[in-house]
Amino acid sequence: MSKTIIVSNRLPVKITEQDGQLSFKTSEGGLATGLGSVFQADAESLWIGWPGMEVPDEQEKNVTAQLNEQSLIPVYLSKEEITQYYEGFSNEVLWPVFHYMSTYARYENIYWDYYQQVNEKFKNALIAVAQPGDTIWIHDYQLLLLPGLIRAVLPEVTIGFFQHIPFPSYELFRLLPWRAELLNGMLGADLVGFHTYDDARHFLSSAARILQVQTASNNIQYNGRSIVVESFPMGIDNAKFEALIDNTQVKQNILNLRETFGNVHIILSIDRLDYSKGILQRLQAFDLFMQDHPEYKEKVSLYMIVVPSRDTVTQYRELRDEIDKLAGNINARYRTNNWSPVNYFYRSFPIENLSALFQFADVCLVTPMRDGMNLVCKEYVASRKNNDGVLILSEMAGASKELTDALIVNPNNVLQMSQAIVAALNMPLEEQTRRMKQMRELVSKYNVMHWVRVFIERLGEVKRMQQSLLTKYISQRTQQYMKNKYNRADKRLFLLDYDGTLVGFNNNIDQAKPDKELYHLLEELASDEKNKVVIISGRKHVTLEEWFGHLKIDLVGEHGVWHKVAGGKWEDLKGLTTEWKQHVHPILNAYTDRTPGSFIEEKTYSLVWHYRKAERGLGDLRASEMMNNLRYMMGDWGLQLLPGNKVVEIKNMEVNKGKAAQVYLHRYKFDFIMAIGDDITDEDMFKALKDEAITIKVNSNLSSAKYYLRDYKEVRNFLKLLSSKMFITKVLDRVMNWIPKSSFARRGR
């Protein structure tokens, strides 16, 4: 039976040692908290991860057995691996860059070496338990290489990847020396998920610009696979927090808080120690609030919990010291005998205490500088049984895209946060109820179970989509079918695009010349009297003549403007005009001046704006702008705008490859038709051909063509197989070997 395998840096349990004895307890991390409920509910799932400490060799067997009983598979890491892979690369390279604080990053090669090594360890652990049909769900930035490593070993397996922290813009991500390797790893997944649309957009941009992959909407074409990139805002275990409302211990904790604080309004702040959480700015905002509004003295207290984290790292230790100092200064300035403005705790709290605080606090202040989702704000909302209370939320938290009824603030704007505190304390109960009720409904509906279900369902949809597209890929079996059809035919037509189909894509259009191998292939195809070979290209007819005029093949240039039968003369399509060029040329010149690396190619009856040498992104932007400016002219002059692969062509509407192909269908009768192309211009040709024609798109499986091949090399190999007599011999040999020899003996009688 197929199963789901969750893979994360840490297991949902943590091993601790006391007096030589190992004990297990639940991890505090947001991922462990979020997925733990789902994992426990799914009897067919496994969870692979690090147990949280270095386990002595002699105890590994015993620990593994205990963890296996809970369907947990440990990956044991040495102290050195933890230091270099986890504390080093993950948290001193990826974490600061992904949180837009690149000045904290340390690009050490040894970190990278261990990061690769540990990802390999996780791969080995996964391969040991994975089976065909399993679904693998890999989590977070510590394991960015893992999807690609698994894909290389198990190419057919279903892999989802979800990143729980922000994904930075291209300008930040490009700082990483190992940026391409990290992207290659992530693109091993079938579905790549993030908390927000912005994160998904940044990832698509980085993949397109760094790896030069084709992207369309939220789809990436990579190594012959279609990978989907989407946002999936994570929820919380809402039922768990609602159940805590009636917990006896929680109720007692609320009574204790009420006894301690009386009628003092409580502003709650809960965060792990990290420079991305905006803790200092929050304290500064509260300080400004106390300074500007002395009337709230002895009436409001900030209840601040900072959970210890990585305080052995210099930046974190210094941050902790600054927090201690600032909290102390605020208390020193405003404290009275019976009241402290800041109640500061540097430790973790049990869930029963947190639930009590969520229910007791009048305001929850969640203002990270950058955050993936931030589940604390959702936990606060889920705990507000009476639909009161106010949430102040940073616009930099992923949750701000959902919890729009919170008071949204810029975490860098201390004055705005201070004013938000005043607004929260003075908000009428009716408005509190209206806002909180809507947020509670949202948090309840889009809980962690919903998040998991939507992601897994979407992963299944993506896999089915991939499989349906794979049926179009020309496998060996399909090749044999086509070869048999080829052999039976008496009159065959080959319509072949040139750039990207018979040769690779080249930034310099003059360098994409045919080579000896291509000449030999075309000569081989054309030597068969049953074959009519046509190169149908957007190239100038003079270029096609220079390159292919000596071959026994037909040539069609400029998408059908020019036509030459093998051995004949060039003829152009009658009735075309060039008057429009004088109006369009100045516009193209203006965009060429504004776009370094772009240039204009003039053909007999068309103009082409090339931007394959322009900066990625800028060229696409200018092309889009230019097409918007040109569209109003198209109808008046009977023109067509044709966006292609790093080109925009303006040509007569009557000209396209589909009409050029139909000329051959009207003149001759073929019982075998094959058309191959890689560009949007070839779609007209595919659509114009009869259903029985074999149409093949190159480098993309998103096409009206029936089949696809990955690149021009596969096209050449495929055409060689069709024209090769060796292929027939191999097929006959297989058939002869399959037929029992006894049948020949019987026939001999």
Neighbours of 262 (CB within 10 A): 9
Place of tokens 């290389």: 152
Instruction: For 20-84, give the secondary structure using H, E and C.
Output: CEEEEEECCCHHHHHHHHHHHHCCCEEEEEECCCCCCHHHHHHHHHHHHCCCEEECCCCHHHHHH
Cα–Cα distance, 714 to 314 (Å, whole number): 54
Burial of 600 (0-12, 13-18, 19+ CB in 10 A): middle
Task: Give me the catalytic one of 140, 497, 554, 678.
Answer: 497
Contact 525, 494 (CB under 8 A): yes
Cα–Cα distance, 414 to 291 (Å, whole number): 13
What b/e readout covers 74-106, taking b as 16+ CB neighbours within 10 angstroms? bbbbeeebbebbbebbbbbbbbbbbbebbebbe
Contact 409, 366 (CB under 8 A): no
| Nearest C-alpha neighbor of 682 from the set 512, 551, 529, 559 | 559
Place of tokens 């980085």: 206
Structure token pair of residue 364: 């929850």
Q: What are phi and psi of 338, to 5 degrees?
A: -110, 5
Task: Answer yes or no: 679 catalytic.
Answer: no
Cα–Cα distance, 384 to 435 (Å, whole number): 12
Q: Show Cβ contacts of residue 300 under 8 Å, excluding neighbours closer than 6 positions.
A: 264, 265, 266, 267, 341, 425
Helix and strand numbers, DSSP H then E, in the chain: 28, 29
| Nearest C-alpha neighbor of 487 from the set 736, 706, 722 | 722
Place of tokens 């304290």: 283
Please report which residue ranges of 95-178 form alpha helices under DSSP H. 95-98, 109-129, 146-153, 170-173
Cα–Cα distance, 212 to 613 (Å, whole number): 12
Cα–Cα distance, 748 to 746 (Å, whole number): 5
Q: What is the three-class DSSP state of 636?
A: helix
Beta bridge partners of 600: 609
- 377 membership: H or E segment, kind and range: helix 376-382
Q: In the chain, what is the greatest distance between 2 CA atoms, to the nearest angstrom?
A: 118
Contact 682, 497 (CB under 8 A): yes
Contact 49, 9 (CB under 8 A): yes
Contact 384, 245 (CB under 8 A): no
Structure token pair of residue 563: 């036509």
Beta bridge partners of 496: 535, 676
What distances in angstroms separate CA 297 from CA 166, 288, 336, 365, 597, one per listed residue? 38, 13, 9, 19, 64
Q: What is the three-class DSSP state of 676?
A: strand
CA-angle at 100, arms to 366 and 392, nearest 5°: 15
Cα–Cα distance, 545 to 538 (Å, whole number): 13
Active-site residue numbers?
497
